[in-house]
């Protein structure tokens, strides 16, 4: 369908509405068709996946609707579940496929409730045909603490083929100097703010603003405080087990922290950091088992499709077991995250990062970060290429894993200090890097998955039907994964060749040469 045009106006003084209506073109009549009042609940994922795509997801009673900011309905469905909604809750429907594409495995959580009172009018031509729609609405945001009332607003919506009349109405309303409003999307933003969240206040992409003259200590402090913030933001979601990505993002923040400390180790106070390094390693290890479990459970459908129909029941037994183990892992993780050890770690870490007297800002921590980072970027790149060149058909899974870790550290390094470099070049380089990393990641995932499946297979006891069924399913899956791993391996060589080109080597040299602290002083 052609996009339906729509525009909203704020009406600060509701008593003006009738006089506004009287100004509509005389040959057109206005007819009130219905009046509706009720409560809409708005949802989005924690990282605003729908809002980023200019989509609004709302619930009215048992009906949920996905609309664009401009009010065009994309999809609608009935569902009873209220607290957290996943794409898979909608089974095989348009809503399920649309949500799968937009939010993937994330949960839609209620953000705010809007109480509305809407009166719908249609503008009729001489044939009494609807040629435009007008909605007069007043809305209140219901938050825990209070009700916040918004000014009344009018929304004009076009009917396809009658856009001229729509334009005429807008001209009249513009002449009355009514203030434009973004309609529902604006209400959504204001409602979120009133309910304690601001759209786009969280995203999993890393970016910390750093200027080129920043010292090592200052850079580490800013980056790590941002990562602590990410851990704290995801903490609640991990403990409440809202969806798997809270833990994923939490772990990435921990991993990034550990990577940064390791990358800049020589310029940081070793003694003081030793404890933190050990504690973050502990945090990584206690969050690992649940994440590993999540990875398998998220792949349930993929795995099921890899084995023949007759073996799927066997695979279900495997996943039932995983789901049971997951619950134990979650209890264990919660215990660790609620421990004094965790609280002390975060408190002392934040103190260490923000105290101006901290060792972090003394000695080598005072040096300009830029030159040091340039050096590490070149070193890490060369090491990655050197080790990548050594990968061959004879290489074992361990070598691929080591290369993946090197690559990951190198990519984190570029992401941490991205503001130092020319945006276009670094973006291009990261894109090339991502292709290699994706390949290595897939290879490693398959390797870890096969190890785990083999372990499970080895631990199977008995000869009952269930065990035989499970063993057959696991065997079939391992075979399929092995074939897939070989395909990924083959793809790696070409991806890597495309990465280690002279052009990319030049790009790294150009990136690091173009910004140096000596140049900075001259400038």
Work out how close the CB of 29 gets to another protein at its nearest, in angstroms, rounded to a whole number: 13
Long-range contacts of 384-388 (CB under 8 A, 24+ apart): 384/410, 385/500, 385/505, 388/436, 388/496, 388/499, 388/500
Among 159, 239, 297, 457, contact with another protein (rule: CB under 8 A): 159
Rounded to a whole number, what is the largest CA-CA distance in the chain?
86
4 versus 491: smaller Cβ distance to another protein: 4
127 versus 423: smaller Cβ distance to another protein: 127
Q: Does 92 bind another protein (CB under 8 A)?
A: no
Please, are residues 360 and 352 in contact by the beta-carbon 8 Å criterion? Answer: yes
Site string for another protein, 103-132 (x = CB under 8 A): -------------------x----xxxx--
Q: Which residues of 398-429 are buried (b: 16+ CB within 10 A; e: fewer)?
A: eebeebbebbbbbbbbbbbbbebbeeeebeeb
Phi, psi for 186 (deg, rounded to 5): -70, -40
125 versus 402: smaller Cβ distance to another protein: 125
Please, are residues 415 and 430 in contact by the beta-carbon 8 Å criterion? Answer: yes
Site string for another protein, 39-78 (x = CB under 8 A): ----------------------------------x--x--
Q: Does 35 bind another protein (CB under 8 A)?
A: no
Q: Does 27 bind another protein (CB under 8 A)?
A: no
Q: Does 161 bind another protein (CB under 8 A)?
A: yes
157 versus 221: smaller Cβ distance to another protein: 157
Cα–Cα distance for residue pair 515/371, rounded to 1 Å:
8
Work out how close the CB of 150 gets to another protein at its nearest, in angstroms, rounded to a whole number: 25
Cα–Cα distance for residue pair 19/36, rounded to 1 Å:
22
Cα–Cα distance for residue pair 451/445, rounded to 1 Å:
10
Q: Which residues contact 216 (CB under 8 A, 6 or more apart)?
A: 264, 267, 268, 364, 365, 366, 367, 368, 369, 372
Token readout for 382 is: 């060369």
Cα–Cα distance for residue pair 109/242, rounded to 1 Å:
9
Work out how close the CB of 209 gets to another protein at its nearest, in angstroms, rounded to a whole number: 41
Work out how close the CB of 119 gets to another protein at its nearest, in angstroms, rounded to a whole number: 16
Work out how close the CB of 30 gets to another protein at its nearest, in angstroms, rounded to a whole number: 14
Among 63, 160, 351, 386, contact with another protein (rule: CB under 8 A): 160
Token readout for 97 is: 């496929």
Work out how close the CB of 101 gets to another protein at its nearest, in angstroms, rounded to a whole number: 15
Q: Does 144 bind another protein (CB under 8 A)?
A: no
Q: Does 7 bind another protein (CB under 8 A)?
A: no
Residues near another protein (CB under 8 A) are 1-2, 4, 73, 76, 122, 127-130, 159-162
């Amino acid at each position: 369908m052609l996009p339906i045009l729509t525009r909203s106006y704020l009406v600060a003084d509701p008593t003006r509405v009738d006089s506004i209506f009287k100004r509509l073109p005389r040959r057109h009549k206005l007819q009130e068709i219905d009046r509706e009042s009720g409560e809409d609940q708005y949802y989005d994922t924690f990282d605003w996946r729908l809002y980023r795509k200019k989509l609004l997801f709302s619930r009215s009673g048992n009906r949920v609707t996905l609309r664009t900011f401009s009010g065009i309905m994309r999809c609608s469905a009935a569902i009873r579940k209220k607290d957290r909604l996943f794409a898979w809750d909608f089974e095989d429907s348009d809503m399920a496929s649309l949500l799968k594409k937009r939010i993937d495995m994330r949960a839609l959580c209620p953000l705010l409730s809007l109480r509305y009172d809407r009166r719908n009018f249609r503008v009729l031509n001489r044939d009494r045909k609807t040629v435009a729609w007008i909605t007069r609405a007043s809305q209140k945001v219901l938050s825990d603490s209070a009700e916040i009332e918004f000014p009344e607003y009018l929304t004009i919506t076009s009917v396809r083929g009658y856009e001229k009349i729509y334009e005429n109405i807008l001209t009249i309303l513009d002449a009355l100097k009514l203030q434009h409003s973004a309609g529902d999307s604006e209400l959504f933003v204001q409602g979120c703010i009133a309910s304690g969240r601001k759209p786009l206040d969280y995203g999993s992409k890393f970016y910390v603003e750093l200027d080129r003259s920043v010292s090592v200590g200052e850079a580490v402090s800013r980056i790590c405080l941002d990562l602590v913030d990410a851990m704290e933001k995801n903490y609640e979601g991990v403990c409440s087990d809202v969806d798997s990505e809270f833990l994923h993002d939490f772990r990435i923040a921990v991993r990034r922290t550990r990577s940064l400390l390791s990358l800049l180790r020589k310029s940081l106070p070793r003694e003081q950091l030793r404890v933190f390094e050990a504690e973050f390693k502990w945090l990584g290890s206690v969050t690992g088992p649940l994440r590993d479990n999540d990875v398998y459970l998220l792949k349930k459908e993929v795995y099921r499709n890899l084995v023949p129909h007759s073996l799927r029941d066997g695979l279900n037994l495997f996943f039932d077991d995983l789901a049971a183990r997951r619950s134990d892992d979650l209890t264990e993780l919660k215990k660790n995250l609620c421990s004094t050890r965790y609280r002390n770690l975060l408190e002392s870490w934040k103190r260490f990062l923000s105290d101006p007297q901290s060792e972090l800002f003394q000695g080598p921590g005072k040096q300009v970060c830029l030159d040091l980072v340039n050096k590490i970027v070149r070193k890490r790149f060369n090491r990655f290429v050197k080790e990548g060149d050594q990968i061959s058909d004879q290489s074992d899974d361990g070598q691929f894993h080591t290369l993946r870790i090197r690559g990951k550290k190198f990519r984190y390094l570029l992401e941490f200090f991205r503001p130092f470099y020319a945006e276009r070049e670094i973006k291009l380089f990261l894109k090339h890097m991502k292709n290699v990393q994706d390949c290595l990641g897939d290879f490693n995932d398959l390797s870890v998955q096969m190890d785990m499946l083999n372990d499970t297979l080895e631990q199977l006891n008995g000869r009952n039907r269930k065990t035989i069924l499970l063993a057959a399913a696991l065997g079939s899956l391992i075979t399929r994964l092995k074939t897939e791993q070989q395909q990924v391996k083959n793809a790696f060589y070409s991806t890597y060749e495309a990465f280690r080109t002279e052009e990319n080597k030049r790009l790294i040299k150009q990136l690091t040469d173009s910004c140096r602290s000596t140049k900075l002083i001259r400038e």
